[in-house]
Chain A
């Protein structure tokens, strides 16, 4: 199983195009969105600047992009080519495959987070009161991305061929918007807000927001993320073993 994890990481790193876009894309998006914003102006209702808020949002969003979109498409392609069928004829348990996919996704999401942080600190002068916040944010956003990596594996197994891209994008944009990664959820109608509270991206964003304000993350958000992580990973492992389609 460790060999598979190592091999999945190796081949991800070898895929230079995929690595480049996954790592560069969130940072570019950050520059586009926060580039013109003032470094000093405080966003209403917080004591934080827009560049700082956007840094956490874009790091989270970018991490999701790297792991969710990357995983689901690559897995659907592997199923089509029949590699998964071949792998199912080995003694590898379902959790081994899912663990390897999540590990290789995590290898992509970490640099994508760090690059956003570096760009924000260098170009927009983002600073925190405590150095611990940088580390905590990195840890929380990275750990949280694992939940979406598992979701990506599950989608890669649930959907076939041509449908993978649209389905992934619907899930990805739906979750990003509902979770408030692009705009505060306060602008939504009440009923949408009450749904939004329970989506994984909302809990994910809340973890980062608690830390940027100098607090510890709420227990409810952590619990929600863990629950979603178990659910997605379990579903992915089950689908891996169950998958009997050729493509």
Chain B
């Protein structure tokens, strides 16, 4: 698993080493719906073995990006390629498995019949029993598809997406509707797939999933890539550490703002909350400036807070322009 790689150049190097075309390549891709620019000059490369999380607030262009990637929509400008060919061809060759949020299921059929269909349609299918077992749908094999719960439906979708030896697996909000244990089981299977050298790309709302599972996180905002790197790097970019303390007496806000490496400052009553790129230096300077912080706490920022910080900063920047 690759950890701590930032730049696209590093990943391109990796791709060359394994000798293949990038799994996914977006070359200045744009897509608009009416006057809304859903994807704007997107440049993106994914390589074998990567597990990539796609993050972004609602309307950031995640679903549009996945639609373009899978050839369900065509870009207005630019080029989308999978394995050096068109998405449609890559799919026809059985290289891509996908689980869409918007993907419905056939009705009036049994779970086993539907999974068998996916296996029969896949050019490099796995045995039916193995697919059923991996996706955890054995015990609902004889149930009608239209009588399943939300979490069971997700498992069936997962079975359809993993019916054969895909080289890329695309998942859009895959664990929505699953309970905690189902979610854990799901990611265990997913990790196995990634360890076998597959690229896994998933969009998610659960930031802890991205933090725990992805070795690369891409933050989308208004159809552009806002940040691209490991979860640790994304957090660092946002101002990695949070410092919280209380101050006695009147608070000199101007002096606090002069603290080095400070990225955010919030004062409520006697409590001061600071985000910093370098907590050690910030705290050191705090004492140096004559402050006497009480109940001092220094903690790492979660990916969720980093994500909010990054997207809010981008929104503010756009508003200022």
Contacts and interface: CB of A to CB of B under 8 A. Distances in A.
Q: Do A and B bind each other?
A: yes
Contacts of B97: 89
A86 B121 contact: no
Given A7-B117, A82-B102, A90 B108 contact: no
A91 B102 contact: no
Interface stretch (B14-22, B88-96, B288-296): B88-96
B106 A7 contact: yes
Contacts of A14: 108
B103 A83 contact: yes
A244 B25 CA distance: 21
Contacts of B157: 86
Contact of A10 (B74, B113, B122): B113
A246 B91 contact: no
Contacts of B93: 91
Interface in B91-148: 91-94, 96-98, 100, 102-109, 113-114, 116-118, 120-123
B264 interface: no
Best-buried of A10, A86, A90, A241 by chain B (most CB within 10 Å): A90
A86 B161 CA distance: 9
Contacts of B227: none
A7 B113 contact: yes
Contacts of A81: 104-105, 107
Given A91-B94, A91-B121, A85 B104 contact: yes
A4 B105 contact: no
Contact of A92 (B106, B109, B121, B161): B121
A11 interface: yes
B103 A85 contact: yes
A4 B121 contact: yes
The secondary-structure label for the interface of chain A is helix
A11 B102 contact: no
A70 B31 CA distance: 35
A1 B92 CA distance: 13
A90 B71 CA distance: 12
How many chain B residues sit at the interface, stated as a range, is 20 to 34
A88 interface: yes
B104 A86 contact: yes
B66 to A, nearest CB: 11
Contact of B91 (A4, A91, A244): A91
Given A3-B120, A7-B117, A89 B104 contact: no
Given A4-B117, A88-B72, A91-B123, A10 B98 contact: no
A135 B35 CA distance: 59
Interface string A1-39: 111100100111011000000000000000000000000
Contacts of B92: 91, 93
A91 B71 CA distance: 13
B94 A82 contact: no
A157 to B, nearest CB: 14
Contacts of A82: 100, 102-104
B269 to A, nearest CB: 48
How many chain A residues sit at the interface, stated as a range, is 20 to 34
A94 B116 CA distance: 19
B122 A83 contact: no
B257 interface: no
A16 B307 CA distance: 52
B113 A86 contact: no
B106 to A, nearest CB: 5
B108 A89 contact: no
B270 interface: no
Nearest to A246: B102
A91 B95 CA distance: 9
Contacts of A91: 91-94, 121-123
Nearest to B74: A244
A11 B106 contact: yes
Contacts of A2: 120
A60 B105 CA distance: 33
B103 A11 contact: no
Nearest to A247: B102
B272 to A, nearest CB: 47
Contacts of B117: 3-4, 7
Interface string A218-247: 000000000000000000000001001010
Contacts of A241: 88
Contact of B98 (A1, A12, A89): A89
Given A1-B121, A83-B105, A244-B74, 4 more contacts: A4-B121, A11-B106, A82-B102, A91-B122
Interface of A: 1-4, 7, 10-12, 14-15, 78, 80-86, 88-93, 241, 244, 246
Q: Which 7 A-B pairs have the closest CB atoms?
A: A81-B104, A82-B104, A86-B103, A11-B108, A3-B120, A83-B104, A90-B121
16 contacts: A7-B109, A10-B113, A11-B106, A11-B108, A80-B104, A82-B103, A82-B104, A83-B103, A85-B72, A86-B103, A86-B105, A89-B72, A89-B96, A90-B91, A92-B121, A244-B72
